[in-house]
Amino acid sequence: MLRLEARRHDSTLMALVSPLIATALTLVAGSILFSLLGHSPGRALYTFFIAPLSDLYGWTELGVKVAPLMLCAAGLNMCYQAKVWNIGAEGQLVIGALAGGYVGLMFPDTQTHWMLVPVLGFGILGGMAWAGLAAWLKTRFNTNEILTTIMMNYIALYGLLYAVHGPLKDPNGYNFPESAQFSEFVTLPVLFPDYRINISILFGLFALAASWIVLNRTLPGFQMRVLGQDQSAAAFAGFNQNRIVWSVMLVSGGLAGLAGICEVAGSIGQLVPQISPGYGYTAIIVVFLGRMSPIGIFFASILLGITYLGGEMVQMNFNLPKSITGLFQGMLLFFLLASDILIHYRILPANRASRVHS
């Protein structure tokens, strides 16, 4: 038998290694899964993880998937640093898309790219408002933010359905539940002609960099981290808990809203019933896998972005359901949580005496 012994110091080495262990374990579990389904694991894993990146098109598509993940994860990271469990990025993303998209649709005749500013602005504001509502519920009534944000995800989704089935439905759309196409003036500029990747990836990178500076070099970032690790120490130090909750919620809501409006004003081009394949939820995994550090999040969002592309690839090549993406993401998170035990504990055989601490 094995037993756990608490480390005196958290292991920084293990903190870096455990995401790699988790990824490796996911690959092992994935190959077992593929063999059980009767496919060669090597070929399947190649198709899932490598093939999507074999050409420029693949890399640019990765950028399309990674941008919303980075935006959502950068914001969620701030929340989780402060132990504010915002699970509502998905809903905030949808409301952002809805709010920004509404503005874009209201002025179809505006012939200037400046129109993007209010469109993106309202996207951000929409996400902020949706998250702010949860922040208000938490600070005013002390309701559990996990439950309220989840509930608001469902409400936001039905709100979007209502909009595309009702007021925002394209009158010339053959009764499809979709809005009209956005004009080229409210469409995000692409980075390379003929590819879908657009400037939203730059927003994502910028958000990550900014969040690093806030968390590591400013007092408010420090306050978030203290509140997350030790509420009673934060109270003792005189940090205003409500203000911290409000700021992290507004920031993460705004970033998720930006991700939403960038999706519809970017690669989608109109409001549709399904805007996001669960970016808001996947971003949660990204944050954990990225060790709650902006640099780690950068790499984690690339890996999770690949799982989206890989899901599409195996669907085409092996006729497996696309939902295998969700399965891989869930496994990854499980393995990560299990590997994280190595940061705080060392594993020893049960009969070996513990190492003496001096």
Query: Can you tell me the distance from the alpha carbon of 255 to that of 126, in angstroms, rounded to the nearest whole number?
Result: 10
Tell me the per-residue interface mask from 324 to 353 with another protein, x by CB under 8 A, - otherwise: xxxxxxxx-xx--xx-xx--xx-------x
Cβ 237 to another protein shortest distance, Å: 5
Query: Of 65, 89, 54, 62, which is closest to residue 75 (Cα–Cα)?
Result: 89
Q: How far is the CB of 139 from another protein (least distance, A)?
A: 11
Nearest 5°: phi and psi at 143?
A: -80, 150
For 271, the enclosing helix (H) or strand (E) is none
Residue 17 contacts another protein per CB under 8 A: no
Q: Does 219 bind another protein (CB under 8 A)?
A: yes
Q: Residue 348 forms beta bridges with which residues?
A: 3
Nearer to another protein, 142 or 172 (CB): 142
Residue 64 touching another protein (CB under 8 A): no
Residues 270, 248: Cα–Cα separation, whole Å = 29
Integer CA distances (angstroms), 103 to 65, 119, 183, in order: 24, 6, 12
Q: Comparing C-alpha atoms, which of 34, 31, 149, 43 is closest to residue 88?
A: 149
Asked if 159 interacts with another protein (CB under 8 A), we say yes
- When asked if residue 355 is in the footprint of another protein (CB under 8 A), the reply is no
Per-residue binding letters, 122-141, with another protein (x by CB under 8 A): ---------------x---x
Which C-beta is closer to another protein: that of 54 or that of 218? 218
162-191: contacts with another protein (CB under 8 A):
162, 165-166
Report the alpha-carbon distance of residue 100 to residue 262 in Å, rounded.
Answer: 9
The residue type at 139? T
> Counting contacts by CB under 8 A, is residue 58 touching another protein?
no
* 283 to 322: interface string for another protein, x by CB under 8 A: -xx--x--------------------------------x-
Question: Nearest approach, Cβ of 240 to another protein (angstroms)?
Answer: 7
Cβ 137 to another protein shortest distance, Å: 7
Beta strands 345-349; 2-6: pairing state:
antiparallel
- In whole angstroms, give the CA distance from residue 120 to residue 265: 9
Please tell me the distance from the alpha carbon of residue 243 to that of residue 225, in angstroms, as a whole number. 14
Closer of 131 and 188 to another protein (Cβ)? 131
Binding of another protein at residue 32 (CB under 8 A)? no
Question: 3-class secondary structure for 49-117?
Answer: HHHHHCCHHHHHHHHHHHHHHHHHHHHHHHHHHCCCCCCCHHHHHHHHHHHHHHHHHHCCCCCCHHHHH
Indicate whether 9 belongs to the interface with another protein (CB under 8 A).
yes
Q: Which is nearer to another protein, 166 or 349 (CB)?
A: 166
Write each residue from 264 to 283 as x if it is in contact with another protein (CB under 8 A), else as -, in one continuous string.
Answer: -----------------x--
Of 174, 178, 200, 175, the closest CA to residue 187 belongs to 200
> Running DSSP on this structure, what letter comes out for residue 266?
I
Stretch that binds another protein, among 51-59, 66-74, 184-192, 210-218 (CB under 8 A): 210-218
* Contacts with 225 (C-beta within 8 Å, 6 or more apart), sequence order: 81, 82, 215
CB of 304 to another protein, least distance (A): 11
Residues at the site binding another protein, with contacts judged by CB under 8 A: 3-4, 6, 8-10, 85, 87, 137, 141-144, 146-148, 150-152, 154-155, 158-159, 161-162, 165-166, 216-220, 222, 225-226, 229-230, 232-233, 235-240, 281, 284-285, 288, 321, 323-331, 333-334, 337-338, 340-341, 344-345, 353
